[in-house]
Amino acid sequence: MTTLLNIRALYVNISLSAGMLHAVRDVSFHVERGETLCLVGESGCGKSLTALAVMDILPSRSVRWAEQITLEGQDLQNLKDRHMSDLRGSRMAMIFQEPMTSLNPCYTIGNQLEETLRRHRSASRREARDRAVFLLEKVGITAAGTRLKQYPHQLSGGLRQRVMIAMSLMCGPALIIADEPTTALDVTIQAQILSLLSSLQKEFGMGMIFITHDLGIVARIATRVAVMYCGMVVETGVVGEIFHSPLHPYTQGLLACLPVPGKTRPGEHLGSIPGMVPTPIGDFSGCMFRNRCSHAMEECCHESIELYRVSVERAYRCLLSKETCLANHMTQKD
Amino acid sequence: MSQPIPEIVYPSPRQIMIRRTLTHKGFLIGAIMLLLISAAALLAPVLSPYDPYNQDLSRRMINPVWHENGSWEHPLGTDNLGRDYLSRLMYGARISLLLGGCAMLISGVIGTSLGIAAGYFGGRVDMVVGFLITARLSMPVVLVALAVVALIGSSLNVIIWVLGLLIWDRFAVVMRASTQQLREMDYVNAAKAIGCSTLRVLVSEILPNVFNNLIVVATLEIAHAILLEAALSFLGMGVQPPLPSWGLMVAEGKEFMLFSPWVIFIPGTVLSLLVLAINLMGDGIRDITAPEGRS
Amino acid sequence: MKHQLIHIRELTKTYRISTGLFRGKHDLRAVNGVTLEVEQGTVFGLVGESGCGKTTLSKLLLGLEQRTGGEILFNNRPTESIPRRDLARHIQPVFQDPYSSLNPRKSVASIISLPLKVHRVGTMVDWSRRVQEIMDVVGLPPRLANSYPGQLSGGQRQRVAVARALIMHPDVVVCDEPTSALDVSVQSQILNMLMDLRSELGLTYILISHNLSVVEHMASRVAVMYLGRIVEEAPTATLFRSPHHPYTRALLDSVLTPEPEKGLPENHLGIAYPDPIDPPPGCTFHPRCPCAQDVCRKIPPCPVNIGNHMVECHFPLNNSTPKYN
């Protein structure tokens, strides 16, 4: 069984007036069928651009290149535009954060759902409509027949996001990329949408890349996690390991920042990471986290730090040894 | 110990505007043209070779320098009353610019106040202003101007006030739309929560942020006023002779169009160039003062 | 003797909305009879989802909207009797969006000193000194005084907003989602700063947020709003340990803590989203309530006080421990 999606050494550069922005650097990961990989990081870490790079819908003035981008064994880098757009929507689909801007307000829901199928599968109107109704019911929308005739503005945010999920499933893709799909939703709706995605994934056996900045979501939905900082992957691992024994100082810092009801003592200071995220413009060397890291050393400025593989699924990008990192984490927890 | 990572220093809004100004071709071209015309207008008493009102019937309809009979004595020739064309052109620039500027100021004050009030207060105020705008838009400007001038008589003052009271609609519409967008901004709410009076909120929070739209509309309306004045003068209801308005010069040259086309060609060209320059500058200002996106 | 700084009684705010060309105007009850008290020196948390009216309530407190009914008392004086300028000296806001809460055309110093100018406090020399002082307190480097908001990061902008709110030493700060638009690492910096400032300056906070983890960490008392009414109010620990209202229970169940073993919650709320213009009869929560009975559909519940725990439900839950615990 081949890996569903394999990305090796992905780079994305964007030319700005202030210089060359190295938005994504040396990003490698893989996704298997039936599992969820979470790309987590704060704003500016390059996680959304990574997804756009995989789908090849980057903004203008950006350049991508990679050692390998393969979907179901097929190389995506050298495909003609036409073939790439055939794959988009049918083999891999994307769900965006803001459903109002992803749904065209001028067309009915039914129209947009059916068009997705008819574009890729040359299905008849009747087939497309049946599939649309089937999927709307699968995502929990009752009275699907009536809903098909409605326009996006007539639905609430949660319903629109369900329609987006149905739309992404129309052609039965193997890979779903969800870019912060629940950030704009209320907390109770968010829980429902996440459960829905999870059960659909189990039922249809898709692989999913879930991009978010919310570590709570990552903990509950991920199989594996890749933590990104300043355009690079700084730590990967199975979700349990990442949360219980994080290695990279940034991951440790992030986890310490979160208030957890029942665990963090109310009224006390939360952990914090001093300083701000730097912008990777121009040339630089060494670790981009060093000016915020309490364990930074002289070597951190000069060497380019490789992703050090601890085990099959576990890797981190830091000069400190694994034992030191774990020891730091223990002291931090006290 | 560790070498710190160099911090990106984002440029201030002023630096951004200066950088944009120096690289914006359209703006620079328009600005240079406008500068030349304004310089000619301002220094007309010094630069113009002759008195524009000085008639010399012995020197009527002399061709400009590029014709066979022309000479550098009258580089652009003379008109049917023997007045030097170049001098008339330079003094005419004064009239156009003065008129355009004053009409723009009057209409700007009226339109901006109405527009901002309508956008900020909404409700009844918006309804009333909307009605005024609709009423104004349903009037044909040139015909109304003609009628008023026919009733009151035409002089520079009358033209300025008539135009000023007629072309404020674009100001009102644009300012209304801009203010509506800003009304819900949190910094407006914060200013109100601090205890600012309504006037202070309008002047100190809203006006600076609608200012770039205001400038763009202002430049367009200068051009609009200049063209309207030329049209009125051409129809005989604008500036009266012997004032050297460009529109009037076109009208006076109508009769000689077939034999001496330069009589209309020259003022027409200069008029177009002035309006072009103003429009280029307006576009440029719009681009230069455009708000930055989120960093 | 605990001093209740703010009393709100049966506060109502109704908007008249026209729902279409031929359908006439309807009443939108954004705030529908809210009663609560805020004790001096505490953090009062207000939670709820979109459309519950918490933003409208904050605007009423700040004097940005006029109430339709009920009363707001500040230090036992009705807020109508306090001139707007004086009220502004007592209660100030910090808004959610750091990008729209600062005027992009004004420098940081000008933004922070606006309250001093409006209230005519001191001279121009005093202003720059006070601006530098408050910038120091909120952790902004002095060189940023002449910068513009476009040059600052989200965290820095939020610090400017806090500085502006605090420069006149108000009694109450209404924080409307102060960290929702910020990154996690910046969020904890800002929250720590807010906590420190509260104890140093003796402030009272009204913290409005949809992020229950943050509210649990900072607030001493929490009120839950739904469709314009407060459905439950209790000390934080009690509310989070044993909520009585089914909606509170569902909200708490939906909190996703970073604990991988716990899996995804089910909250059984259904997907019917209430329309604030046309609220359901009886208890407005009944269409989504997993334990709704006949009476819930007909008669709105009255608030019931059990000690210092208020709940508005015909069948409040007992022994209900949320799943995250």
Per-residue pLDDT at C192: 93
| Residue that has been written with the tokens 């029942």 in this structure | A262
Greatest mean pLDDT among A83-87, B57-61, B114-118, C288-292 lies in: B114-118
Q: Determine, for residues B13 and C164 on separate chains, whether the beta-carbon distance falls below 8 Å.
A: no
Cα C182 to its chain centre, rounded Å, is 17
Residue A165 lies in a domain: yes
**pLDDT per residue as tens digits for the range C62-113:** 989 999 999 999 988 898 888 888 999 999 999 998 889 999 999 999 999 9
* Interface mutation target, options C49, C182, C217, chain A, most CBs of A under 10 Å: C217
- Angstroms from C253 CA to nearest CA on chain A: 8
The one-character DSSP state at A59 is: P
CATH number of the CATH domain containing C258: 3.40.50.300
**pLDDT per residue as tens digits for the range A227-276:** 999 999 999 999 999 999 999 999 999 999 998 887 888 888 898 898 88
Tell me if A120 sits within 8 A of A134, measured CB to CB: no
Q: What is the mean pLDDT of chain C?
A: 89
Query: How many CB atoms are closer than 10 A to CB A143?
Result: 10
- Does B3 contact chain A (CB < 8 Å)? yes
More confident residue, A282 or B89: B89
Same domain, yes or no: A196 and A50:
yes
Per-residue pLDDT at B275: 92
Residues of C in contact with B186 (CB under 8 A): 95-97, 100-101
Q: Determine, for residues A261 and C240 on separate chains, whether the beta-carbon distance falls below 8 Å.
A: yes
Q: For the residues B54-78, what does the mean pLDDT come to?
A: 77
Q: Determine, for residues B8 and A284 on separate chains, whether the beta-carbon distance falls below 8 Å.
A: no
Tell me if A64 sits within 8 A of A23, measured CB to CB: no
How many Å apart are CA B215 and CA B104, to the nearest integer? 11
Same domain, yes or no: A72 and A204:
yes
DSSP, collapsed to helix, strand or coil, labels residue A254 as helix
Q: Determine, for residues C96 and B186 on separate chains, whether the beta-carbon distance falls below 8 Å.
A: yes
Q: For the residues A113-132, what does the mean pLDDT come to?
A: 88
- Angstroms from B295 CA to nearest CA on chain C: 7
Indicate if the pLDDT at residue C323 is higher than 70. no
* Distances from the Cα of B191 to the Cα of A273, B141, B201, C84, C180, angstroms: 32, 40, 7, 12, 22
* Interface mutation target, options B5, B16, B294, chain A, most CBs of A under 10 Å: B5
Nearest Cα residue in chain B from A293? B2
**Model confidence band, residue B294 (pLDDT cutoffs 50, 70, 90):** very low
Indicate if the pLDDT at residue B295 is higher than 60. no
How many Å apart are CA A56 and CA A76, to the nearest integer? 9
Indicate if the pLDDT at residue B266 is higher than 60. yes
Please give the model's pTM, rounded to 2 decimal places: 0.88
Tell me if B275 sits within 8 A of B281, measured CB to CB: no
Q: For the residues A142-163, what does the mean pLDDT come to?
A: 88
Q: Determine, for residues C255 and A257 on separate chains, whether the beta-carbon distance falls below 8 Å.
A: no
- Angstroms from A152 CA to nearest CA on chain C: 15
Between β-strands C172-176 and C25-39, what pairing exists: parallel, antiparallel or unpaired?
Answer: unpaired
The one-character DSSP state at C79 is: G
Indicate if the pLDDT at residue C164 is higher than 90. yes
State residue C227 phi and psi, 5-degree precision.
50, 50
Per-residue pLDDT at C325: 43
* Distances from the Cα of C136 to the Cα of C130, C145, C167, C171, C209, angstroms: 10, 11, 12, 20, 27
How many Å apart are CA A139 and CA A199, to the nearest integer? 10
How many Å apart are CA B87 and CA B194, to the nearest integer? 58
Closest C-alpha to A9, from A282, A306, A268: A306
How many Å apart are CA B212 and CA A217, to the nearest integer? 43
**Where a domain ends, among A125, A140, A170?**
A170
Q: For the residues A175-181, what does the mean pLDDT come to?
A: 93
Exposed/middle/buried for residue A60 (C-beta within 10 Å: 0-12, 13-18, 19+): exposed
Per-residue pLDDT at A98: 84
Length of chain A: 334
Residues of B in contact with A300 (CB under 8 A): 2
- Angstroms from C214 CA to nearest CA on chain B: 22
Per-residue pLDDT at C189: 92
- Does A301 contact chain B (CB < 8 Å)? yes
* Residue among B2, B3, B5 whose CB faces A278 most closely: B5
Indicate if the pLDDT at residue B85 is higher than 80. yes
Q: Determine, for residues B189 and C151 on separate chains, whether the beta-carbon distance falls below 8 Å.
A: no
* Interface mutation target, options B186, B196, B198, chain C, most CBs of C under 10 Å: B186
Number of domains making up chain C: 1
Question: pLDDT over 90 for what percent of chain A?
Answer: 48
Same domain, yes or no: A302 and A252:
yes
**Model confidence band, residue C19 (pLDDT cutoffs 50, 70, 90):** low
Q: For the residues B183-202, what does the mean pLDDT come to?
A: 92
Per-residue pLDDT at B10: 77
**Model confidence band, residue B6 (pLDDT cutoffs 50, 70, 90):** low
How many Å apart are CA B110 and CA A84, to the nearest integer? 56
Query: How many CB atoms are closer than 10 A to CB A263?
Result: 11
Per-residue pLDDT at C203: 93
Q: Determine, for residues A218 and C258 on separate chains, whether the beta-carbon distance falls below 8 Å.
A: yes
Nearest 5°: the CA angle C48, C50, C53 is: 70
The helix or strand, by DSSP H or E, that contains position A324, with its residue range, turns out to be helix A322-333
Same domain, yes or no: A101 and A77:
no
- Does C262 contact chain B (CB < 8 Å)? no
Per-residue pLDDT at B118: 95
Q: For the residues B154-183, what does the mean pLDDT come to?
A: 92
Q: For the residues B85-95, what does the mean pLDDT come to?
A: 87
| Distant-in-sequence, close-in-space partners of C47: CB < 8 Å, separation ≥ 6 | C54, C208, C209, C210, C212, C215, C222, C223, C224, C225, C251
Between β-strands C229-235 and C309-311, what pairing exists: parallel, antiparallel or unpaired?
Answer: antiparallel
Indicate if the pLDDT at residue C56 is higher than 70. yes
Nearest Cα residue in chain C from B292? C150
- Angstroms from B183 CA to nearest CA on chain A: 23
* Distances from the Cα of A256 to the Cα of A230, C147, C155, C183, angstroms: 19, 32, 18, 14
Cite the beta strand spans of A89-202 per DSSP E: 92-95, 175-179
- Does A20 contact chain B (CB < 8 Å)? no
| Distant-in-sequence, close-in-space partners of A267: CB < 8 Å, separation ≥ 6 | C195, C217, C218
**Model confidence band, residue C188 (pLDDT cutoffs 50, 70, 90):** very high
* Residue among B193, B291, B294 whose CB faces C64 most closely: B193
- Angstroms from A94 CA to nearest CA on chain C: 22
**Where a domain ends, among A170, A195, A212?**
A170
Residue C183 lies in a domain: yes
Per-residue pLDDT at A251: 94
DSSP, collapsed to helix, strand or coil, labels residue C229 as strand
Q: What's the topology of domain B37-43+86-293?
A: MetI-like fold (1.10.3720)
Tell me if B132 sits within 8 A of B226, measured CB to CB: no
Torsion of CA B187, C215, C187, C179, to 10 degrees: -20
- Angstroms from B7 CA to nearest CA on chain A: 7
Indicate if the pLDDT at residue C320 is higher than 70. no
Q: Determine, for residues A298 and B4 on separate chains, whether the beta-carbon distance falls below 8 Å.
A: no
Q: Which two tokens stand for residue C268?
A: 């059984």
| Distant-in-sequence, close-in-space partners of B196: CB < 8 Å, separation ≥ 6 | B204, B205, C114, C118
| Distant-in-sequence, close-in-space partners of C123: CB < 8 Å, separation ≥ 6 | none
Closest C-alpha to B24, from B287, B290, B291: B287
Same domain, yes or no: A273 and A189:
yes
Residues of C in contact with A257 (CB under 8 A): 184-185, 187-188
Indicate if the pLDDT at residue A174 is higher than 90. yes
Q: For the residues B50-71, what does the mean pLDDT come to?
A: 77
Residue C318 lies in a domain: no
More confident residue, C40 or A283: C40
| Residue that has been written with the tokens 């026919």 in this structure | B150
Question: pLDDT over 90 for what percent of chain C?
Answer: 55
How many Å apart are CA A54 and CA A77, to the nearest integer? 9
Closest C-alpha to B179, from B107, B132, B128, B117: B117
Between β-strands A315-316 and A308-309, what pairing exists: parallel, antiparallel or unpaired?
Answer: antiparallel
Q: What share of chain C is helix, strand, coil (3-state, %, to 5)?
A: 35, 25, 40
Per-residue pLDDT at C321: 59
Same domain, yes or no: A123 and A82:
no
DSSP, collapsed to helix, strand or coil, labels residue A52 as helix
Residue C319 lies in a domain: no
Closest C-alpha to C28, from C49, C2, C9, C53: C53
* Residue among B3, B4, B8 whose CB faces A279 most closely: B8
The residue type found at B218 is A
Per-residue pLDDT at B3: 58
The residue type found at B202 is L
**Model confidence band, residue C219 (pLDDT cutoffs 50, 70, 90):** very high
**pLDDT per residue as tens digits for the range A8-63:** 999 999 988 778 899 999 999 999 999 999 999 998 899 999 999 999 999 888 99
CB pairs < 8 Å spanning A and B: 24
Per-residue pLDDT at C272: 67
**Domain map of chain B by residue range?**
37-43+86-293
Q: Which two tokens stand for residue A160?
A: 């629109």
Between β-strands C229-235 and C304-306, what pairing exists: parallel, antiparallel or unpaired?
Answer: unpaired
Side-chain half-sphere CA neighbours of A333 within 13 A? 10
Q: Which two tokens stand for residue B271?
A: 């008029």
Buried/exposed A95-114: b ≥16 CB within 10 Å, e otherwise: bbbbbeebbeeeebbbebbb
Domain that holds residue A111: 96-170
Q: Which two tokens stand for residue A104?
A: 């065209």
DSSP, collapsed to helix, strand or coil, labels residue A264 as coil
- Does B7 contact chain A (CB < 8 Å)? yes
Indicate if the pLDDT at residue C42 is higher than 90. yes
Q: Determine, for residues A288 and B3 on separate chains, whether the beta-carbon distance falls below 8 Å.
A: no
**Where a domain ends, among A144, A170, A196?**
A170
Number of domains making up chain A: 2
- Does A140 contact chain B (CB < 8 Å)? no
Residue A176 lies in a domain: no
Nearest Cα residue in chain A from C51? A186
Residue A25 lies in a domain: yes
DSSP, collapsed to helix, strand or coil, labels residue A11 as strand
Q: What is the mean pLDDT of chain B?
A: 87
Q: For the residues C106-134, what does the mean pLDDT come to?
A: 91
| Residue that has been written with the tokens 């909404």 in this structure | B122
State residue C182 phi and psi, 5-degree precision.
-110, 160
For chain C, first and last CA: distance in Å? 34
The one-character DSSP state at C15 is: E
**pLDDT per residue as tens digits for the range C108-117:** 999 999 999 9
Tell me if B235 sits within 8 A of B247, measured CB to CB: no
Q: Which two tokens stand for residue A54?
A: 């995989």
Residue C317 lies in a domain: no
Indicate if the pLDDT at residue B292 is higher than 80. no
Chains that touch A (3 or more CB pairs under 8 A): B, C
- Does C84 contact chain B (CB < 8 Å)? yes
Residue A325 lies in a domain: yes
CATH number of the CATH domain containing A189: 3.40.50.300
**pLDDT per residue as tens digits for the range C272-315:** 677 788 888 888 898 888 888 899 889 999 999 888 899 999 98
| Residue that has been written with the tokens 């209660």 in this structure | C91
Q: Determine, for residues C104 and B291 on separate chains, whether the beta-carbon distance falls below 8 Å.
A: yes
Same domain, yes or no: A118 and A149:
yes
Domain that holds residue C282: 4-312
Q: What is the mean pLDDT of chain A?
A: 89
The helix or strand, by DSSP H or E, that contains position C247, with its residue range, turns out to be helix C246-253
Residues of C in contact with A189 (CB under 8 A): 49
The DSSP result for C22-48, as a single string, is SS-EEEEEEEEEEEEEEETTSEEEEE-
Residues of A in contact with C260 (CB under 8 A): 219-220, 222, 239-240, 243-244
